[in-house]
Amino acid sequence: MSDYVKRLPSAALPEGGVASWSVADAERWRKARVPAAFAPVPGSWVLLGLVAVSYVLTSEFSASRWSSGGSAPGGTDWLGYLPTVLLAALPLWYRYLPVPTVPAAVVVAVDAAVSLASSDADDRLVTSGYLLALTVSAWAFAGACLRLRARRKQRALALAAAGRRRLELPDRVPETDGYRGFRQFYLGLALCLIAGAILTDGLVEGLTASDRAPAYDAVGQQGAALLFLVAGTTVYGRGHVAYRAARRLHEEPQPTLLVGVRIAPDGYHWLYPDARTTSGRPLIAYLPKGRGTDRAARLLGTSSTYRASDGHYDIDPRSEPFEAVLYGAPWEGAEVVLEYVVIERSTYQGSERTYAGVMVAPLLPRRRHGLGLWQPADGAARDAARRERICKEEQEKRERDERREARLRRQERAYRVRGTARRRGSGARGQRYGRPDSWGGGDGCGSSHSCGGHGCGSGHGCGGHGCGGH
């Protein structure tokens, strides 16, 4: 059984100490986020709705445009395919890849403007569709730029709070740059290759079509490849971003801050300015994974090393935050290391060991946390309650052991009784069926009572079978 420790002992802190993150600095960092409307999750849903409506409004005109791009009727427009793919990819790219969203939004805006200028002014639905595409591109461009600006500002604020000192990562930190993002990278590459094969098939069919036959229509291949391209480029980009974040963390010394960590009801861990100020609010979340966590990276001492009066007591991390050292500048998408302290207890042996644990995880752009205000627990009272709970558990274990031993003794006695009864029953059966070991007894056929008085007078009973023969 392991519990998080409220305050870090001096042995768990880096040599020379670590800077604290004040609530005022943390609030400035928090206010540097983008507005809620441009946040990754809400913004991507807004873009998805707008893109869907834009496709519906321009579908008829798009079909006519695609059918007029070839040299003969029924051909396929390959020049306008790229903006079509980028428009479909904007919602997912905005959610996960704000950097490529900026040039993609520019390409979509230019294509929508050109199409709007060349479209029939009397067709209001088509005009509305391209105006909506311009709105989508402008929204995505503005939101992506605001998010990138917020990242830079948050990083600068975190570096200013940490000071100029940079430290190497703690010992036994999992090297996430050896595996982070690799699966997404190769999966996205495979999806893009499938899309490339589909498009190549459509292009070859169009180029090799006979001049006399109608132009080959590759719209079906383009539609199928669009789905693979949108998914593949998104997954590929996520893998590349995750790998680069891990490399940045491990390839150079990092700034450090003393922060608080609290676990939300859904399992996400939230960073706080510290673990002592109750007015601090949750800042940013991460979700730890087993491969990036080592809860016993370094042994700090046993139960006699630290005292509860010094703040070294376990807490419920869902009720209040615990202290941790943060390595790396926190901002959306960054990967950081957290070093904290846990107490490992053996419930029935009464031994305690204190370890420094490490955890590596990327920071996530979540907004909802479900965490309310908190009050610090009384360390002495919690320690007394814990000891009382351990004593109660030990008493319950002794009672269970006693009940089990009593049950075993009863079973053993019952087994012995059944064995004795079985042996007695075997003797009675021997007497009934005339076993040799009972013939000489007073109840056998050789006795005067049995033969002379009752059974021996009959020729059948003694002469033919029983006593008459002896």
As a whole number, mean pLDDT of residues 11-30 equals 91
Amino acid in the structure at residue 63: A
According to DSSP, the β-strands at 269-272 and 335-346 are unpaired
Report, as an integer, the average pLDDT of 369-381. Answer: 80
Q: How far apart are CA 229 and CA 346, in angstroms?
A: 54
Q: Residue 209 carries which DSSP code? A: S
Residue 98's alpha-carbon distances to 176, 275, 333, in angstroms, are: 23, 32, 11
C-alpha span between 140 and 246 (Å, rounded): 27
Please indicate whether residue 372 or residue 420 has the higher confidence score (pLDDT): 372
Q: Which residue has the higher pLDDT, 159 or 60?
A: 159
Average pLDDT on 51-79 reads 61
264-284 tens-digit pLDDT: 999 999 999 999 999 999 999
**Residue 179: left (phi > 0), alpha (psi -120 to 50), or beta?**
alpha
Quote the pLDDT of residue 10. 87
Locate the domains of the chain by residue range.
3-9+254-379, 32-162, 169-203+211-251
Q: Is 317 helix (H, G, I), strand (E, B) or coil?
A: coil
pLDDT at site 443: 43
Structure-token pair, residue 21: 């993150």
Question: Mean of the pLDDT values across residues 383-403?
Answer: 77
The SS3 of residue 296 is: strand
Q: What is the pLDDT of residue 230?
A: 96
Confidence band for 139, pLDDT divided at 50, 70 and 90: very high
Strands 269-272 and 256-263: antiparallel
391 vs 339 pLDDT, higher one: 339
Quote the pLDDT of residue 74: 45
| Predicted local confidence at residue 425, as pLDDT | 65
Separation CA 190–CA 228 (nearest Å): 9
Q: Tell me: pLDDT of 61 over 50.
A: no
CB 316 within 8 A of CB 372: no
- State both tokens at 159: 């570096």
The confidence band for 296, taking pLDDT boundaries of 50, 70 and 90, is confident
Q: Are 361 and 271 in contact (CB under 8 A)?
A: no
Q: What is the pLDDT of residue 347?
A: 56
Torsion of Cα atoms, 407 then 410 then 414 then 416, to 10°: 110
Return d(Cα 230, Cα 97) in angstroms, integer. 12
pLDDT at residue 424 above 60? yes
Residues 6+ apart with CB under 8 A from 436: none
> How would residue 201 be classed by pLDDT, with cut points 50, 70 and 90?
confident
How far, in Å, CA of 359 to CA of 339, rounded?
7
The three-state secondary structure class of 285 is: strand
